[in-house]
Structure 1
Amino acid sequence: MTNSYLTLEGVSYVLPDGRTLFSDLNEQFDARPTGLVGRNGAGKSVLARVLSGQVSPTTGRCARLGTVYYLAQQIAPRAGATVADLANVRDTLDALARVEAGSTAPEDFDAVGERWDVRRQLDSELTRHGLAHLDAATPASELSGGEVMRVSLIGALLSAADFLILDEPTNHLDRDARSALIEQLRQWPRGLLIVSHDRRLLEHMTRIVELSPLGLQSYGGGYRFYAQCKAEERANALQTLEQRKLERDREARSLREQQERLARRQARGNRHGHEANQAKILLGRQKERSEGSAGKLRAQHAQTREALNARVHEAAQQVEDEASIVMRASALAGTSTAARRRVAQLDAVSLPHVPPATRHIDLTLTGQQRVGVIGPNGCGKSTLLKVLAGTIAPEGGVCDVPVQCLYLDQGLANLSPERPVLDQLMEVNRTQTQGELRTRLAQLGLDAQTIMAPSGTLSGGERLKAALACAFYADQPAQLLLLDEPSNHLDLPSRQALETLLRSYSGALVVVSHDDAFLEALGLTHHLAATENGWGMDACQPST
């Protein structure tokens, strides 16, 4: 069915605690490949589930023409699940097996439908995606996170649904798997909606739809066109806000001048009445008229001020809250190291639990080197960071890191989840006052309420900022920063804010990531690649 569509008509969703997640959404999603973007917490995943029919809206309705296949962001296989379950073909395979064994039950034929070659299709796709070591009966518990996602995506693409809704499909995928998925989605012939923060994937969409507190806004083109439109919208909104503020200030001055003129006229009238020896009754009436005029003027002024404040507030609402980061150069002064100073040395190091091709490594890192570590899942990238950080020992060789080092794994294990951010920063910074540290955290976009909450209750982006604050603002700031997939689960503004922050960092940096756009934004000096021939370090070409 090529004319499939999903239509939102006045859709709202209210959370169990009474908060409205989004309201009065009206939009149609057709066969055009569409990317759904928005800040973390805006309700993208909930909206995707509403569109797929997984949940019902609180108000309004969602109309669907055609079948919909929905793949959630977090895939948690049930106990005993197999590859066939992940690919959502278990029921079809079971029914096919019964038919082949002689079953004539109508329900078995209905379950198979037109998919008589589903077993061959699954095996073929597993082989094509480098998963030939798996089959339909392989337990899901034996798969890595990347393999779970890849098998689940195979199931989505085999579904022949009229509409695919995929929530963050590139999470846990390495570079090659991301490229393969993008190519497959480019060839998908029917309706497609992708919830994603992956800029490379979004660039291949025909349009971008953004969910924000203002509702849904549709943009034609891929990510770069969307980003350009957003920049122009924000610039125009800021200009309008400044104009409204200037109008309010001018009107406020005008109102003060009117009040001052009225006060002067009243004073002159009172002096003239007394000097002319007017009767008290006439002076009283004059005073009443004067006070009446002043009262009317004050009411008019109050009404005008209220209208102007409303216009400023309306303009301010159009300027969305961006995750901007403000950092003074002095705040990061202690992280700088001499360009030629050795900050890490690996001599004939053998990495534990790593494939033979990348088990052995010799590596020298110097100050202000910025290295992006790339390679397929399972090649030893995270293990390399752990050896550099000293959290695990090498099987052989010598690892020497003579500078202060901070390692942030994907789970941010260096933060105590039960303790507030401010307490943890005060523990590593004993030279500044609490007020100064609160200001530093505010510069990272962490407000007073956030820094007093247990860090385990914060969003991924907030926890990452807190962990980096403890690294940058410590009495002994980290001069070597080791980051493992730091942009995972961050929304687009938070990723851009993180890029801004890391560009300000003047120490040595080693970051593992599959996000090409993220790596390109960091101003890397080198790529360290894990290949079939071992580890290789190449200098990055300077940006033009």
Structure 2
Amino acid sequence: MPASITLHQLSYSTPDNQPLFSGLDLSFGNERTGLIGRNGTGKSTLLRLILGELTPVSGSVSVTGTLGVLEQSVRVDPTETVADHLDIAGELDRLDRLEQGLGTAEDAGEADWTLPGRIDAALADVHLPALDPGRLLSTLSGGERTRLSLARLILAKPDMILLDEPTNNLDADGREAVVDLLHRWRGGAIVVSHDRALLREMDAIVELTSLGAKTYGGNWDHYSERKALELSAAEHQLASAERKVAEVDRKIQAVAERKARKDGAGKRKAAKGDIPRIMLGGMKENSENTSGGNTRLANRLRGEAAEAASEARAQVEILTPLSVTLTPSGLPAGRTVLQADALSGGPVPEIPVVANASFGIIGPERVAITGPNGSGKTTLLRLLTGTLAPTSGVARILVPYALLDQTVSLLDPQLSIRDNFRRLNPEADENTGRAALARFMFRADAALQKVGTLSGGETLRAGLACTIGGNNPPQLLILDEPTNHLDIHAIEQVEAGLRGYDGALLVVSHDRDFLDAIGIEREIVLA
């Protein structure tokens, strides 16, 4: 029987009684489904409800078939081996006993002699070399442990797999291994991810919002096209609603003008004495009643039209991508921005992670530093910016610059976004600061939020606002893995901000879609 997962009228609230979703109806079958949504909408929670790790407030979860799961991070037991993590230690011990002539009849009956070959094939499928089964898991890198977990899924052959942000913290090769696995997977899969390359391997996309869930047939590109059509429809609806408001206003004005003319004619007749006094009182009362009725009707129609326009406008704002116009940095095309000559160094001086790196950036170039995990990308940034002293060679940054690392440590988490902007831009007045923050969607009270209370995407957006959003943006912006742990909506906002920046960019990232979106022109590849 094909695997299936059915959610019926599912409701769940956080421990502090904040509802995540209510009355959710969803079904997942023998297809690959990408689960997307802003951080905090409950994507990982939904997986935990499916696995039975959490209990819903109401509703039910029905699962047919076996499930395999890949967690966001692999917890490492100091004594756990590769064989333990693959859940094959007992099977390998059985084969070992039989090979030594110590096995029992039960061992012989249950032995899987294809297992060693299947292990090697599974490791190759996830781009890992042959590993000693007795090797400690703690000796593998984070990316290698994630790939080993993928190999465990291949060996277990569950009917449906659940992957929670599987490409986070993986280098390009690791990401490719996950994409390959999903490309070849013929069972069911639910994949929580912001990786657009991975989402292109999906058969359907489910978008989770505070209003519920909506399913889109097709992969990420099809979803994007549908969202563009939704935006076009919402813009058409807004234009229609605004025309309705204008039409109601014109009719109200026409009625008011007709009444004013009629009242004027009546007053002129009364002034001439053509109308008996007793009729004047009745006409006045009728006029007042009619006027009151017309006013109430006009107010109701105007209110309904304005409400429809407001709802349409809100929908357009939700669907419209962020577009940012920034103050020019003033960087000349021929200016030397950065120069590294035979640069070597690392956290341990005797073991240089970076060796003999030589390159430069001229004018508003957009350059990416790429390479596998452990190749020294972040170390190179530290050597360039002087936070790590080189063992040899020279690095010079010759223009004003700003560095946004993975935690955006440039910002003080105890201060508001507004106060951080004023701290980093002491020459700016209040109006300049407010305008800069508004460009990055921190308007009014939103600018007064403490940085420490922001989500990852909001923090990075605040970092961009405080560095490149003002009247004197730096001429070089350095970014270290800016999209890690961000949802797609937040990534697209960051991309929009960087597209509006005309200075030089130096970016460390494994996210190919992100690099393409911000117009990277050249790569420095570390081995």
Question: For 1:241 and 1:445, how far apart are their aligned partners in 2?
Answer: 21
| CA distance in 1: counterparts of 2:264 and 2:273, whole angstroms | 14
Cα drift, residue 150 of structure 1:
2.1
Farther-moved stretch of structure 1 (258-267 vs 413-422):
258-267
Q: Is the aligned partner of 1:348 residue 2:351? A: no
Structure 1 pair 357–440 and aligned structure 2 pair: CA distance change class (3 A): closer
Deviations 1:415-468 (A, max 9, x none): 222221211110122232213211210111123333222212111111111212
Question: Does the 8 A contact of 2:477 with 2:503 survive in 1?
Answer: yes
Question: Where does residue 64 of structure 1 map in the other structure?
Answer: 63
Task: State the Cα distance separating 1:15 from its structure 2 match.
Answer: 3.0
Greater alpha carbon shift after TM alignment, 274-283 vs 491-500? 274-283
Q: CA deviation at 1:4?
A: 1.0
The within-5 A match list for 1:511-526 is: 511-526=507-522
Identity of aligned residues (%): 37
Q: Deviation at 1:475? A: 7.1
Deviation of 1:378 after TM superposition, in Å, equals 0.6
> Which of 294, 299, 318 is 1:297 aligned to?
294
Instruction: Measure, in 2, the Cα distance between the counterparts of 1:116 and 1:56.
Output: 41
1:486 aligns with 2:485: no
Q: TM-score, normalised by structure 2?
A: 0.88
1:201-241 residue CA offsets vs partner (Å, 9 max, x unmatched):
11111222222344322222222221111111111111111
Query: SS of 1:49's equivalent?
Result: helix
Aligned residue number for residue 24 of structure 1: 23
Partner of 1:285: 282
1:297-320 deviation digits (Å, cap 9, x = unpaired): 222222222322332244345435
Q: Does 1:368 align with 2:364?
A: yes
Determine the structure 1 residue equivalent to 2:49: 50
d(CA) in 2 for partners of 1:303, 1:11: 38
Amino acid at match of 2:13: V
| Aligned-residue offset at 1:59 | 2.9
C-alpha RMSD over aligned residues: 3.2
- Range 39-48 or range 198-207, more displaced: 39-48
**Partners in 1 of 2:113 and 2:9 — Cα distance?**
41
C-alpha distance in structure 2 between counterparts of 1:64 and 1:194, whole Å: 17
Asked whether the 8 Å contact 2:356–2:393 carries over to 1, the reply is no
2:80 equivalent among 69, 79, 82: 82
TM-score (ref. length: structure 1)? 0.86
Aligned CA distance change for structure 1 residues 414 and 472 (closer, same or farther; 3 Å)? same
Give 1:503's aligned residue.
Answer: 499
* Match of residue 14 from structure 1: 13
CA distance in 1, matches of 2:244, 2:111: 68
Give, in whole Å, the separation in 2 of the partners of 1:114 and 1:433: 76
Offset, 1:85 = 9.1
- Of the three residues 420, 427, 439, the one matched with 1:443 is 439
Quick one: structure 1 residues 345 and 269, their matched pair in 2 at CA, closer, same or farther if it must change by over 3 Å? same
Query: Which of 176, 179, 193 lines up with 1:182 in the alignment?
Result: 179
Cα pair 1:86 1:151 within 8 Å, conserved: no
Is the partner of 1:321 in helix, strand or coil? helix
Contact 2:344–2:353 (Cα < 8 Å) also in 1: no
The residue type paired with residue 416 of structure 1 is: D
Query: Which stretch of structure 1 is more off in the superposition, 501-510 or 124-133?
Result: 124-133
Q: Where do 5+ consecutive residues of structure 1 fail to align? A: 532-544
Are 1:34 and 2:33 matched, yes or no? yes
Which segment is superposed worse, 405-414 or 171-180? 405-414
What is the CA–CA distance in structure 1 between the aligned matches of 2:230 and 2:319, rounded to whole Å? 13
Alignment equivalent of 2:466, drawn from 455, 466, 470: 470
Shift of 1:103: 11
The farther-off stretch of 227-236 and 45-54 is 45-54
Deviation at 1:254, TM superposition (A): 0.7
Q: Aligned with 2:514: secondary structure?
A: helix
Cα distance 1:273–1:59, how it changes in 2: closer, same or farther (>3 A)? farther
Partners of 2:215 and 2:284 in 1: CA distance: 61
Instruction: Show the counterpart of 2:330.
Output: 336
CA distance in 2, matches of 1:235, 1:170: 32
Asked if the contact 2:8/2:24 (under 8 Å) is kept, the reply is yes
* 1:68 aligned partner, one-letter code: L
- The 5 Å alignment of 1:377-388 reads 377-388=373-384
Q: How far did residue 403 of structure 1 move?
A: 1.8
Q: Which runs of 5+ in 2 are unaligned?
A: none
CA distance in 1, matches of 2:287, 2:388: 84
1:426 to 393, 399, 422: 422
Q: Is the 8 A contact 1:12 1:22 kept in 2?
A: yes
Q: Distance in 2 between matches of 1:294 and 1:476?
A: 58
Counterpart among 249, 253, 260 of residue 252 in structure 1: 249
d(CA) in 1 for partners of 2:352, 2:381: 18
